[in-house]
Amino acid sequence: MSTPTIGQPVPDFRAESTAGRPFQLSERRGRYLVLYFYPKDSTPGCTQEGQDFRDLYPEFQKLGADIVGVSRDSLKSHERFRCKYEFPFELLSDGDETLCQMFDVIRMKNLYGKQVRGIQRSTFLIDAEGRLAAEWRKVSVKGHAEAVLRAVAGLAAKSSA
Protein backbone atom coordinates (compact mmCIF):
# COMPACT_ATOMS: atom_id res chain seq x y z
CA MET A 1 0.00 0.00 0.00
CA SER A 2 1.49 3.35 -1.00
CA THR A 3 1.67 6.33 1.32
CA PRO A 4 -1.08 8.91 0.67
CA THR A 5 0.16 12.02 -1.15
CA ILE A 6 -1.22 15.56 -1.17
CA GLY A 7 -4.25 15.87 -3.44
CA GLN A 8 -4.79 12.11 -3.72
CA PRO A 9 -7.56 10.05 -2.07
CA VAL A 10 -6.62 8.41 1.22
CA PRO A 11 -7.40 4.68 1.07
CA ASP A 12 -10.30 3.68 3.28
CA PHE A 13 -9.31 2.11 6.59
CA ARG A 14 -10.88 0.73 9.71
CA ALA A 15 -9.39 0.82 13.23
CA GLU A 16 -10.41 0.10 16.80
CA SER A 17 -11.58 3.24 18.55
CA THR A 18 -12.39 4.59 22.00
CA ALA A 19 -15.80 5.56 20.55
CA GLY A 20 -17.06 2.05 21.31
CA ARG A 21 -17.28 1.02 17.67
CA PRO A 22 -14.64 0.73 14.94
CA PHE A 23 -13.62 3.92 13.14
CA GLN A 24 -14.15 3.79 9.36
CA LEU A 25 -12.63 6.58 7.26
CA SER A 26 -15.29 6.36 4.54
CA GLU A 27 -17.97 7.15 7.14
CA ARG A 28 -16.36 10.57 7.67
CA ARG A 29 -16.89 11.84 4.12
CA GLY A 30 -18.41 15.31 4.09
CA ARG A 31 -16.27 16.53 7.01
CA TYR A 32 -12.61 17.41 7.35
CA LEU A 33 -10.52 14.99 9.39
CA VAL A 34 -7.42 15.83 11.41
CA LEU A 35 -5.60 12.53 11.93
CA TYR A 36 -2.70 12.98 14.31
CA PHE A 37 -0.16 10.29 15.16
CA TYR A 38 1.63 10.48 18.49
CA PRO A 39 4.20 8.20 20.14
CA LYS A 40 2.67 7.20 23.49
CA ASP A 41 -0.25 7.86 25.82
CA SER A 42 0.40 9.92 28.95
CA THR A 43 3.88 11.14 28.02
CA PRO A 44 4.55 14.89 28.36
CA GLY A 45 4.64 15.85 24.66
CA CYS A 46 1.71 13.62 23.72
CA THR A 47 -0.34 14.91 26.63
CA GLN A 48 0.34 18.52 25.66
CA GLU A 49 -0.51 17.86 22.02
CA GLY A 50 -3.79 16.20 22.99
CA GLN A 51 -4.65 19.06 25.34
CA ASP A 52 -3.93 21.62 22.61
CA PHE A 53 -6.27 19.83 20.20
CA ARG A 54 -8.83 19.48 23.01
CA ASP A 55 -8.72 23.19 23.80
CA LEU A 56 -9.27 24.11 20.14
CA TYR A 57 -11.82 21.34 19.50
CA PRO A 58 -14.87 23.67 19.46
CA GLU A 59 -13.20 25.80 16.77
CA PHE A 60 -12.38 22.71 14.68
CA GLN A 61 -15.98 21.56 15.02
CA LYS A 62 -17.32 24.95 13.86
CA LEU A 63 -15.25 24.52 10.69
CA GLY A 64 -16.65 21.02 10.08
CA ALA A 65 -13.53 19.17 11.20
CA ASP A 66 -13.18 16.09 13.37
CA ILE A 67 -10.00 15.20 15.25
CA VAL A 68 -8.73 11.67 15.78
CA GLY A 69 -5.52 10.65 17.57
CA VAL A 70 -3.60 7.49 16.70
CA SER A 71 -0.87 5.57 18.53
CA ARG A 72 0.17 1.96 19.02
CA ASP A 73 -1.21 1.90 22.58
CA SER A 74 -4.10 -0.38 23.55
CA LEU A 75 -7.72 0.77 23.69
CA LYS A 76 -7.58 0.39 27.48
CA SER A 77 -4.59 2.75 27.68
CA HIS A 78 -6.28 5.15 25.25
CA GLU A 79 -9.46 5.22 27.28
CA ARG A 80 -7.58 6.07 30.50
CA PHE A 81 -5.62 8.79 28.65
CA ARG A 82 -8.74 10.22 26.99
CA CYS A 83 -10.74 10.29 30.22
CA LYS A 84 -7.94 11.70 32.37
CA TYR A 85 -7.45 14.70 30.06
CA GLU A 86 -11.09 14.98 28.93
CA PHE A 87 -10.37 14.65 25.22
CA PRO A 88 -13.67 15.12 23.35
CA PHE A 89 -12.35 13.21 20.33
CA GLU A 90 -11.68 9.54 19.80
CA LEU A 91 -8.33 7.77 19.86
CA LEU A 92 -7.49 4.87 17.56
CA SER A 93 -5.42 1.86 18.59
CA ASP A 94 -2.92 0.80 15.93
CA GLY A 95 -1.15 -2.02 17.75
CA ASP A 96 -0.35 -3.86 14.52
CA GLU A 97 1.00 -0.62 12.96
CA THR A 98 -1.28 -0.84 9.90
CA LEU A 99 -2.07 2.89 9.93
CA CYS A 100 1.46 3.81 10.97
CA GLN A 101 2.80 1.97 7.94
CA MET A 102 0.10 3.35 5.65
CA PHE A 103 1.06 6.92 6.60
CA ASP A 104 4.79 6.09 6.87
CA VAL A 105 5.25 7.41 10.41
CA ILE A 106 7.38 4.62 11.94
CA ARG A 107 10.99 5.65 12.35
CA MET A 108 14.11 4.58 14.21
CA LYS A 109 14.56 7.03 17.08
CA ASN A 110 17.10 7.56 19.85
CA LEU A 111 15.73 6.95 23.32
CA TYR A 112 18.27 7.41 26.07
CA GLY A 113 21.07 6.45 23.69
CA LYS A 114 19.30 3.37 22.31
CA GLN A 115 17.80 2.97 18.86
CA VAL A 116 14.07 2.13 19.06
CA ARG A 117 11.25 1.94 16.52
CA GLY A 118 8.60 4.50 17.23
CA ILE A 119 6.03 6.86 15.81
CA GLN A 120 7.32 10.12 14.40
CA ARG A 121 4.81 12.73 15.57
CA SER A 122 2.84 13.57 12.41
CA THR A 123 -0.53 15.04 11.45
CA PHE A 124 -2.59 14.58 8.29
CA LEU A 125 -5.51 16.74 7.16
CA ILE A 126 -8.03 14.88 5.01
CA ASP A 127 -10.58 16.97 3.13
CA ALA A 128 -14.33 16.37 2.96
CA GLU A 129 -13.93 14.26 -0.21
CA GLY A 130 -11.35 11.98 1.42
CA ARG A 131 -8.24 13.46 -0.22
CA LEU A 132 -5.07 14.29 1.67
CA ALA A 133 -5.05 18.10 1.89
CA ALA A 134 -1.98 18.70 4.08
CA GLU A 135 0.57 16.90 6.21
CA TRP A 136 2.95 17.82 8.98
CA ARG A 137 5.87 15.51 9.80
CA LYS A 138 8.45 15.74 12.59
CA VAL A 139 5.94 17.87 14.48
CA SER A 140 6.98 20.13 17.33
CA VAL A 141 4.06 20.33 19.72
CA LYS A 142 4.19 24.06 20.53
CA GLY A 143 1.85 25.92 18.17
CA HIS A 144 1.05 22.83 16.12
CA ALA A 145 -2.70 22.58 16.86
CA GLU A 146 -3.08 26.26 15.96
CA ALA A 147 -1.27 25.70 12.64
CA VAL A 148 -3.58 22.80 11.81
CA LEU A 149 -6.62 24.91 12.71
CA ARG A 150 -5.40 27.65 10.33
CA ALA A 151 -5.07 25.06 7.56
CA VAL A 152 -8.60 23.79 8.19
CA ALA A 153 -9.91 27.37 8.17
CA GLY A 154 -8.15 27.94 4.85
CA LEU A 155 -9.75 24.85 3.34
CA ALA A 156 -13.16 25.83 4.67
CA ALA A 157 -12.81 29.34 3.22
CA LYS A 158 -11.89 27.93 -0.22
CA SER A 159 -14.82 25.51 -0.26
CA SER A 160 -17.34 28.21 0.70
CA ALA A 161 -16.02 30.70 -1.88
Catalytic site residue 46? yes
Label residue 94 exposed, middle or buried (CB < 10 Å: 0-12, 13-18, 19+).
buried
10, 46, 119, 133: the active-site residue: 46
Q: What secondary structure, in 3-state letters, does 94-131 show?
A: CCCCHHHHHCCCEEEEEECCEEEEEECCEEEEECCCCE
What is the rounded distance in angstroms from the CA atom of residue 87 to the CA atom of residue 159? 28
Asked whether the CA dihedral 43, 46, 48, 51 is positive or negative, the reply is negative
Active centre residues (catalytic): 46
